[in-house]
């Protein structure tokens, strides 16, 4: 089984690249982030023509997450338990954003069903912004949900994958000094990210790609990609039962090249039956 995650930065703008990549890499299921469209705007037909089913959550032109699978999709959930919402005004209703979707895939596979979560963790914006505290709360609630899933079923096959908007190590960015006083590298963010590992879930990409400067994101400004001013912020936390089945992980840097590329690249997992 081949599982992947990719922040595509607008599915409508990059549907050709995404579908071509799925076919070229023989991917069974892909977690997508930043679709940037409402449900009715998602290009379902393009994926369905290829034999993929789609679960998508999108409320407006911001955020948006999806799962596409050619090994079935069942039991779709739009939010994880306790997922917080956000509004600029702390006194207003905290509106749920399109940042998490789950589906069970592979129910007929020899290894049995696997639950995938496609996650787009809040950016945080600035350390003094309410969006930053929202980000930390979002990660805390996700950690609580993950602990609950494992407590309920220690043998669950589950992947929490996506754009985490956290660089856990200094070597995950091109220049740590550039990020002093900014989000993504602050101690509370890193602690919240690491707390997922305390539940028993394992961040599998680091196990297979431990080397420094293995980036998954390059900004569109400052000639970031040619200069390799990158960040590693796309990860996959797996339940112990699923992590034990992973045989390889790769980051497809080639997908950052060429016209119309996303600022993120796909991360691909090889999973044995």
* Active site amino acids: 120, 163, 264
* DSSP reduced 3-state for 10: coil
What b/e readout covers 144-181, taking b as 16+ CB neighbours within 10 angstroms? ebbbebbeeeeeebbbbbbbbbbbbeeebbbeeeebee
Cα end-to-end distance, the chain, whole Å? 7
Q: Distances in Å between the alpha carbon of 130 and those of 119, 134, 137, 164?
A: 20, 6, 11, 18
Q: Is 131 among the annotated ligand-binding positions? A: no
Distant-in-sequence, close-in-space partners of 194: CB < 8 Å, separation ≥ 6: 168
Q: Is 165 among the annotated ligand-binding positions? A: yes
CA 67 to chain centre: 10
Residue pair 184/231 in contact (Cβ under 8 Å)? The answer is yes
Q: Which residues pair with 103 in a beta bridge?
A: 116
Rounded Cα distance between 136 and 142, Å, is 10
Q: Is 63 among the annotated ligand-binding positions? A: no
Size (the chain), residues = 273
Q: Is 60 among the annotated ligand-binding positions? A: no
Q: Distances in Å between the alpha carbon of 8 and those of 11, 136, 214, 217, 262?
A: 6, 24, 18, 11, 5
Residue pair 131/86 in contact (Cβ under 8 Å)? The answer is yes
Tokens of 34: 């930043």
Q: Is 7 among the annotated ligand-binding positions? A: yes
Q: H or E element: which one contains 224?
A: helix 224-227
Q: Is 263 among the annotated ligand-binding positions? A: yes
Rounded Cα distance between 158 and 43, Å, is 26
The annotation places the binding site at: 7, 34, 163, 165, 263-264
Known binding site for Mg(2+): residues? 7, 34, 163, 165, 263-264
């Amino acid at each position: 089984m081949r599982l992947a995650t990719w922040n595509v930065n607008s599915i409508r703008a990059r549907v050709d690249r995404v579908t071509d990549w799925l076919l070229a890499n023989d991917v069974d299921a892909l977690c997508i982030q930043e679709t940037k469209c409402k449900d009715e705007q998602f290009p379902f037909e393009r994926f369905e023509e290829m034999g993929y089913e789609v679960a998508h959550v999108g409320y407006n032109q911001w955020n948006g997450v999806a799962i596409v699978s050619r090994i079935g999709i069942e039991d779709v959930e739009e939010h994880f338990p306790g997922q917080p919402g956000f509004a600029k005004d702390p006194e207003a209703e905290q509106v749920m954003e399109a940042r998490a979707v789950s589906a069970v895939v592979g129910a007929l596979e020899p290894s049995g069903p696997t639950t995938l979560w496609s996650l787009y963790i809040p950016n945080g914006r600035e350390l003094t912004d309410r969006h930053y505290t929202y980000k930390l709360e979002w990660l805390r609630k996700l950690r609580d949900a993950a602990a609950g899933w494992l407590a309920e079923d220690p043998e669950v096959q589950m992947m929490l994958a996506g754009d985490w908007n956290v660089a856990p190590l200094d070597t995950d960015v091109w220049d740590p000094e550039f990020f002093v006083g900014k989000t993504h590298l602050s101690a509370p963010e890193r602690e919240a990210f690491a707390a997922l590992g305390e539940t028993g879930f394992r961040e599998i990409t680091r196990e297979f790609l431990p080397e420094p400067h293995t980036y998954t994101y390059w900004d569109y400004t400052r000639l970031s990609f040619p200069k390799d001013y990158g960040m590693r912020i796309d990860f996959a936390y797996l339940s112990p039962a699923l992590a034990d089945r992973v045989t390889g992980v790769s980051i497809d840097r080639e997908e950052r090249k060429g016209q119309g590329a996303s600022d993120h690249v796909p991360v691909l997992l090889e999973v044995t039956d």
